[in-house]
């Protein structure tokens, strides 16, 4: 036997002995189970947010199919389906559940007080109802808030600075959103000082959205605030298209609306929050209790302005507003 053939034979035998052990070790690795409940649909935006969360998990060594099982639920904004999916996930008894949005957190809290739950993109009021304090949440929930209600006043102020002639402004949100009372209160309190007539608009359907936009744009000098609301995200194409048709200035809570033709947005980076949520899920899977993880609040908000859309709407963005922008799209 030639030396080269002998080495190949020995190498093949070694591989035959090593590979089964490696495969066996991988197969023997403990698989952990998590659930994901978000109000969004399984569309590009929903996938982007959950994808950011899963990217964060991969960076921490978790891989679906190797050491992680993920059950995802996408109720597409429907309250009944949201409650049904929350109950389904709880029955599956995952080690931890990610709750995307205030309504998802609320639905899960009605189903379990024991399964660790990490929330993301919720408002401060919804969170306060579920925890003892930001530093020591207590119970089974912790996570990352999206905003304080005061941000609604800042959005109105920014829109007014952008369009000084604006006299009437509507704010839209789904009435089942736990944040709705807070939005309305801050909005109505902020409007008089800016010489703006506030219009509170609850929307449950695409038809409601069309009605509100038609009404607010029927007279000149109208404007619109699209608050942080997953229902609005589901109907983002409709809102942006109608705003363009009616030449209506709109400010959005999510940057999601900007690439598809939105004028401006002001809010926290939603994808960063989902990535950060992965760190809490990782720590819980490794033994940390939720009540040991403080609730995190955004440390900065981003103002994004789409100059191209501003020109289409016939709006000249004032220099003082441009100076505040974190990102300007031309």
Can you list the domains of the chain with their CATH numbers? 28-148+269-292 (3.40.50.2300), 150-268+302-329 (3.40.50.2300)
pLDDT band per the 50, 70, 90 thresholds, residue 3: very low
pLDDT of residue 10: 37
What mean pLDDT is reported for the chain? 89
Q: pTM of the prediction?
A: 0.83
Our CA dihedral for 31, 37, 43, 47, rounded to 10 degrees, sits at -40
E strands in the chain:
32-38, 68-73, 96-100, 117-123, 141-147, 168-173, 197-202, 222-226, 250-252, 264-267, 302-306, 327-329
Please report where in the chains the tokens 């409940």 appear, as a residue: 37
pLDDT of 21 strictly over 90: no
More confident residue, 178 or 215: 215
pLDDT at 125: 67
CA dist list (Å): 113 to 117, 193, 321: 9, 43, 45
> Mean per-residue pLDDT for 276-290?
97
User: Sign of the CA dihedral 54, 71, 122, 80?
Assistant: positive
- 58 contacts: CB under 8 Å, gap ≥ 6: none
Query: Is 137 a residue whose pLDDT tops 70?
Result: yes
Residue 35: its pLDDT value, please? Answer: 98
Task: Tell whether the model's pLDDT for residue 13 goes beyond 80.
Answer: no
pLDDT band at 102 (very low <50, low <70, confident <90, very high): confident
Provide the pLDDT for residue 189.
97
pLDDT at 110: 94
């Amino acid at each position: 036997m030639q030396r080269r053939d002998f080495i190949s034979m020995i190498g093949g035998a070694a591989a035959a002995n090593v590979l089964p052990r490696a495969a066996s070790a991988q197969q023997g690795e403990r698989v952990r189970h998590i659930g994901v409940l978000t109000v969004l649909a399984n569309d590009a935006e929903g996938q982007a947010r959950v994808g950011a969360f899963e990217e964060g998990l991969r960076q921490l060594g978790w891989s679906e199919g190797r050491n992680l099982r993920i059950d995802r639920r996408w109720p597409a904004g429907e309250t009944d389906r949201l409650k049904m999916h929350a109950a389904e996930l709880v029955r599956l008894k995952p080690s931890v559940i990610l709750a995307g949005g205030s309504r998802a957190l609320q639905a899960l809290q009605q189903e379990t007080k024991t399964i660790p739950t990490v929330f993301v993109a919720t408002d401060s009021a919804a969170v306060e109802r579920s925890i003892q304090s930001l530093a020591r949440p207590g119970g089974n929930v912790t996570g990352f808030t999206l905003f304080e209600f005061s941000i609604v006043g800042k959005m109105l102020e920014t829109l007014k600075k952008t369009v000084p002639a604006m006299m009437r402004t509507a704010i839209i949100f789904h009435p089942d959103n736990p944040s709705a009372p807070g939005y309305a209160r801050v909005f109505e309190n902020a409007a008089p000082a800016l010489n703006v007539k506030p219009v509170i608009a609850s929307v449950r359907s695409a038809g409601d959205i069309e009605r509100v936009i038609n009404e607010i744009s029927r007279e000149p000098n109208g404007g619109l605030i699209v608050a942080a609301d997953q229902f609005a995200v589901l109907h983002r194409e409709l809102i942006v298209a109608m705003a363009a048709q009616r030449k209506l200035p709109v400010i959005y809570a999510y940057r999601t609306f900007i690439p598809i033709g939105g004028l401006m947005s002001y809010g926290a980076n939603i994808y960063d929050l989902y990535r950060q949520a992965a760190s809490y899920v990782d720590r819980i899977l490794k033994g940390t209790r939720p009540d040991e993880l403080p609730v995190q609040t955004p440390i900065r908000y981003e103002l994004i302005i789409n100059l191209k859309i501003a020109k289409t709407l016939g709006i000249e963005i004032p220099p003082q507003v441009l100076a505040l922008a974190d990102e300007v799209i031309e």
